Structure 1
């Protein structure tokens, strides 16, 4: 797992803090529902980044009797909390605010100010997203963004990228809504913009929550890492056949369980020494592997147990 993920979170926190201040000022000055919805979104994002940092810190707690594999997956819990906050605090509140303004026809004043602030916000959000994309490219230089989104095991970077993409798209919607309101004089466009921002946030939050839920349930290492582990084991001269290979992503670490046929050894101690060599080689090749559980077996016996 990319150790630079916290850097992307700090980029996002700094950007959203500045954006929130500008947006609240513009919302108070203009009375724009879209701008107020965007301000609430930026405030929620600041809280979300703090939660992600807390989750990363708690995930580094050492293993103990209650949590023998450590607390690495705790970061997934905080990522899910962030996704839920993005849905309810950011999305649902924006829809409510837009619906309220649509029904009560509240006017928009000083739209130029709102447009300027939205333009500044786009620059700051682009800075945050660029930081997240740099971290994504370091770990997955050849993947499309959508493929990375579906396959990544970095929940905190997943949330930051999702938030930033939602923020830029939301800013585009808010900008268009305020501009249409200024041109037509119809405040319904501004209210509709707030609803549009809210719906967008709820869609992004749902997609992020779905991915994080899968991590909480228990996902294997990413496909390319699992294939590399499998290839490494099959290349070992001590192993004649891989019967079963299970990988489990545990925060930034990986758990590996191997069941394999091995060559003949003169004694049990010689086989144990060979297994130790295999495990050490695997952990040297993949530093993220923290635990390896290796079971020597034969294919026939494994099939008989499965049929029993």
Structure 2
């Protein structure tokens, strides 16, 4: 297992453990107190547990070896499961919470045993913070010192991105639910609780939209991260066998990487020597970037020259 994959798996298990415990506690508190915001949060945590199972399934499928129908393997299947997570987060987490909140706006019900709801929300905040801390620890290992939002936009690790997005949404949702319960207790107006459910749903749908946008780019086909692409190009250009890099294409394939190079080579005494030179460059690339499973090299001349 690569270090990136290992880090993503750790983050997913942190989230799964935290969300499993939180979901049980929230459902119990929601049934005990009658809180709509708490029920919305419980549904959200249950959806998050399912999401983590989806991500683990995708990472397992991505390990399948290439076959005749999938000659480049199954690495990009993780993007499909990340998209499924975003859809589940939108509809089961977000839309359901909005509908529940709207229903209770029409038919408000009093909140019972608010102390229990607030206690469960407080414990949930601690567990979600633990999960987010685990995800951020793994992100710092691979981000190269980038600010979080820059890493989020540029990362090709869909699983780690999804877990971080979920954890951030969960903490924000818990803060909203906590505020809704407090306002309901202080004012005696159960409409605050219903509004809290709607606000949690809108938040989840917004996060789901942001995740969907990023995963869509990965499914469409993205290059390696900008710094990796630039480093590969510089590496090829610095090789003594290469005179000039004409074009470079990198394509992220799950954890793996495809590299296609068009370059003008230094003059070689024979065809066999040219092949040896190309092989040497390819070997150096795959030694430096072991995730570069495929390397296609085309010797050519610069356009407009002989």
TM-score higher than 0.5 here?
yes
* 2:158 counterpart residue number: 155
Query: Secondary structure of the equivalent of 2:70?
Result: coil
**82, 86, 91: which is aligned to 1:88?**
91
**165, 169, 174: which is aligned to 1:166?**
169
**23, 30, 35: which is aligned to 1:32?**
35
Query: Secondary structure of the equivalent of 1:72?
Result: coil
* 1:119 counterpart residue number: 122
Of 248-257 and 103-112, more deviation after overlay is shown by 103-112
Alignment of 1:126-145 (within 5 A): 126-145=129-148
Kindly state the Cα deviation for residue 300 of structure 1 after the two structures are TM-superposed: 2.4
Matched, 1:179 2:187: no
Matched, 1:272 2:261: no
Alignment of 1:206-245 (within 5 A): 206-245=209-248
Kindly state the Cα deviation for residue 106 of structure 1 after the two structures are TM-superposed: 1.3
CA distance in 1, matches of 2:145, 2:183: 40
Q: Deviations over 1:21-77 (max 9, x none)?
A: 000010001000000000000000001100100000001110111101000000000
Runs of 5+ in structure 1 lacking a partner?
none
* 2:47 counterpart residue number: 44
Alignment of 1:43-62 (within 5 A): 43-62=46-65
**181, 184, 208: which is aligned to 1:205?**
208
Kindly state the Cα deviation for residue 266 of structure 1 after the two structures are TM-superposed: 1.0
Q: Name the TM-score, length of structure 1 as normaliser.
A: 0.97
Query: Secondary structure of the equivalent of 1:261?
Result: strand
CA distance in 2, matches of 1:24, 1:255: 46
CA distance in 2, matches of 1:231, 1:188: 60
CA distance in 1, matches of 2:168, 2:95: 18
Query: Secondary structure of the equivalent of 1:279?
Result: helix
